[in-house]
Amino acid sequence: MRHGKTINHLGRKAEHRQAMLANMANSLIEHKRINTTVAKAKALRKYVEPLLTKSKADSTHNRRTVFSYLKNKEAVTELFRTIAPQIADRPGGYTRIIRTGFRQGDNAEMCLIELVDFNTLYGKEVEKTSAKKRTRRGAAKKKEEGAEGVEAAAESTEETVEEKPKKTRKKKDDAESAE
């Protein structure tokens, strides 16, 4: 039974686990994404999300509390100066875990853990798809080209249709004549 087992010990003593999670949190804050195993990423998410929530309110007390976890001045400064303004309106869920496959040597399940608001590629794709209206006929092109452009486009499509020879069923006719 797993009564009262709230954290994953990750096969390490408490001091080693705390140091490892602090180092991983520093790397995540500095690089905005890191590759690790799924178990470590889930433990890191529980470790770093409360720190991100504390960073929303920039006070001396919150800075000292976060520093007691991270033990790195540069990471604390980066967290309060650049990350906190980006996540200010988000109510939670600051990290995303994306599974990437299995490690070659020991077949451990690997993943990418990243800060959600700092994935610029994903944000740009979402903006493009939501801002662009899709039509089947390409009405936007017709409006830009004008009436003359539409007529020229229609003539060019008629020419291409006429140039294509009609398909015949040669194979079937050849099979019947051979019998």
DSSP string, 79-94: IIIIIHHHTTT--S--
Contact (Cβ atoms closer than 8 angstroms) between residue 102 and residue 55: no
Closest CA to 76 of 94, 58, 97: 58
pLDDT on residue 47: 97
Quick one: pLDDT at residue 175? 58
pLDDT by residue (tens digit) across 70-127?
999 999 999 999 999 999 999 999 999 999 999 999 999 999 999 999 987 765 544 4
pLDDT at 128: 47
Count, residues in the chain? 179
Q: How confident is the model at residue 136, as a pLDDT? A: 74
**Token pair for 104:** 């070659």
Report the CATH fold assignment for 14-118. 50s Ribosomal Protein L17; Chain: A, (3.90.1030)
pLDDT at 143: 58
Write out the two tokens for 12.
């390490």
Segment 60-67 shows an average pLDDT of: 98
CA nearest neighbour of 111 among 125, 127, 123, 95:
95
Give the pLDDT confidence score for residue 130 in this predicted structure: 53
SS3 call for 50: helix
* pLDDT of amino acid 145: 56
Average confidence score pLDDT of the chain: 83
pLDDT of residue 98: 96
Torsion, Cα 101 103 107 110, to 10 degrees, reads -50
Mean pLDDT within 142-158: 55
Burial 125-161 (b: 16+ CB within 10 A, else e): eeeeeeeeeeeeeeeeeeeeeeeeeeeeeeeeeeeee
| Domain boundaries, given as residue ranges, for the chain | 14-118, 119-159
pTM above 0.85, yes or no: no
pLDDT at 125: 47
Name the token pair of 84: 């906190």
- Work out the pLDDT band at 177, boundaries 50, 70, 90: low
Determine the pLDDT at residue 45. Answer: 97
**pLDDT score recorded for residue 155:** 56
Q: Return the CA Rg of the chain.
A: 29
Give the mean model confidence (pLDDT) for residues 124-153. 57
113 burial level (CB within 10 Å; 0-12, 13-18, 19+): buried
